[in-house]
Homo-oligomer: A and B are copies of this chain.
Amino acid sequence: MYNYDLSGKNKYYTLYSLIRDDILRGKIKCGEKLPSKRVFAAELGVSVVTVQLAYDQLLAEGYVRSKERSGFFAERVANGLKGRQPSAVKAEEKGEGDKFAIDLVHGNTPPDMFPFSVWARLMRSVLADCGEHLLERVACDGDEQLKRAVAAYLYRSRGIDVDPRYIVVGAGAEHLYGVIVQLLGRDNLYAVENPGYGKISSTYALNGARFLPVNVSGKGIDISVLEKSGAYACHVSPSHQFPTGAVMPVSVRSALIDWTKRSGGYVIEDDYDSEFRLTGKPLQCMCGLCPERVIYMNTFSKSLAPSMRMGYMVLPPALHARFMQIFSSSANFVPLFEQKTLALMLDGGYFERHLNRLKNYYRNIHSELVKKLAALPYRCKLLDTGSGLHVIVKFPDAGSDDKIKAVAAAHGVNIKCLSDYLLAPAEGLDGCAVINYSGLTLDLLSKF
C-alpha cells in the first residue's frame, strides 16, 4: 500500500498531505496503525526526520493520535470533515479572505516568487561558514554586517547616505513600533494618518501610547491640525500612503520637517512598500532631508515573505544613543542566522534581483487589472500613483460603499473601501474601492 510519490520538493508536506487525504477518503481506516517512522522512511527512501515531520503535522491537526511506545494511529474523522473533498478541507483551514475566489484585501506575494533556492543556499553557506559563532549574543541593535548591508542597500536604492551605526534591526514593523514608543515615551501623543493602516494605531494603543488620527488628502497630512494637537511624533508613509495611495508632495514634506524643528518632535517615516514603485523614481526620503528629526523604517516582510520577521529603522544619532542606553543589556530579537543570511542576500545583489523580478511580475498583474477594470459595466476611475501594491478605484455612481462590497462579493471578490480604514470621520472618501493586488495572479485574473 502507501504507494506514495515523494519525488518533488517539500517531501514532508507532500507525505503529510497524501496521508491526510487517505484518512479523509477512508483509504486509511480509523484505528489503523501507520508504519513505524524508521520502516516507512526506508520504504519511501526519505529520512526519518521527513516522516516524523509529517506525523507531527498530522498529530497537530488531529488526523492521527499517538500511543506511548506503540506508534501512530489514524483518528476517527470528525463528522464535519467526513466525505468532503480533501481540497475543500484545505480551503477551510485558511482565513477570512479565503471565502472569496479573489481576495483584494489581504493578499501576500505568491510564495513561489520568493527565491527560495538562493535563500536556502545562503543559509547553508552561513551555517557552514559562521559555525558556532551563530550562537553568540547579538548586540541589541543588530548584527554589524547586516547593518552595513542595509546601509549600502539604502544608498543604492534610495540614494540616502546612512551611517550603519544608527541602524536598529528588529523583528518586523510591529516590534519596531513598540520600540519607538519605548524610545520616544509612552506619555506622548502620536499623530497617525486618517484613513490609515489600522495596525499602526492599534500597535501604539497596545503599547499604551495615545494616538491622534489626522486627516490626509492628496496633499498629505493636515499640518495645521498637527500644529495644534501637541503631538510629539507624526507617523507617515510619504512614498505611498495606505490606503489612499497618495504620494506626499515635497512641499508637505518640508512643512512637516519644519514642524519637527519648531515643536522638537519627530517624524516616523514608514517606507513600507516603497520598493514597489512600478514606474519612475521614488521621491527622496524625508530621512535624507533631515536625519536629526526623522526616524526612517522599513520591513522585509512585504518584499521577502510574511514569515520573515525582519525590519529596521535608522535613528537620529541622539535617539540611537538613547536606544543603546535603554537596551544595552538586551539581546536583539532576530536570530543571528537570519541576519547573516539577509546580509548575504543584500550584499550579493540577490535581493535587488528578486525585487526586479517581483516588479516585472506586478507590472503584468497591474496592466491586466487595469484592462479588467476598464471592461467593468460600471463607470469608474482609477486613482493610481504608480507606487506600491494597491490602487484606488472610484465608482461615482455606486450609491454606497456597502453596495460596492456587496456587488464585488456576489462575484466572489473580497474588497474594502477607503471608509473601512477610517480611524475618525473624514469627508470625500465615499465610493472608493481599495484594491490590494499583491496576492493576485494572472491565472486568477483570467477567470474574470
Contacts and interface: CB of A to CB of B under 8 A. Distances in A.
A127 interface: yes
Given A206-B182, A334-B309, A53 B112 contact: no
Given A131-B9, A135-B111, A306-B135, A52 B207 contact: no
Interface in A23-57: 47, 49-50, 52-53, 56-57
Contacts of A133: 10, 13
A335 B307 contact: yes
Given A129-B53, A336-B307, A301 B331 contact: yes
Interface in A117-138: 120, 122-125, 127-138
Interface in A72-130: 108, 111-112, 114, 116, 120, 122-125, 127-130
A401 interface: no
Contact of A52 (B11, B332, B347): B347
Contacts of A9: 131-132
Interface residues of A, number: 76
A60 interface: yes
A10 B132 contact: yes
Contact of A11 (B49, B129, B309): B129
A172 B331 contact: yes
Contacts of A286: none
A326 interface: yes
Given A124-B124, A135-B306, A148-B60, A333 B130 contact: no
Interface in A220-242: none
A186 interface: yes
Interface of A: 9-13, 47, 49-50, 52-53, 56-57, 59-61, 108, 111-112, 114, 116, 120, 122-125, 127-138, 144-145, 147-149, 164, 171-172, 174-175, 178, 182, 186, 199, 206-208, 301, 305-309, 326, 329-338, 340, 343-344, 347-348
A135 B307 contact: yes
A306 to B, nearest CB: 4
A137 to B, nearest CB: 4
Number of copies of this chain in the oligomer? 2
B129 A344 contact: no
Contacts of A138: 307
Contacts of A343: 56
A114 B137 CA distance: 14
A331 B348 contact: no
A138 B171 CA distance: 13
B130 A127 contact: no
A288 B270 CA distance: 45
Contact of A129 (B49, B182, B333): B49
Given A108-B137, A116-B132, A148-B56, A122 B49 contact: yes
Contacts of A307: 134-138, 331, 335-336
Q: A57, A128, A136: which has the most chain B beta carbons within 10 Å?
A: A128
Contacts of A175: 333
21 contacts: A10-B132, A13-B131, A47-B129, A49-B125, A49-B348, A50-B129, A53-B344, A56-B347, A112-B132, A120-B127, A123-B127, A134-B307, A135-B305, A136-B305, A138-B307, A186-B208, A199-B330, A207-B208, A208-B208, A306-B331, A309-B335
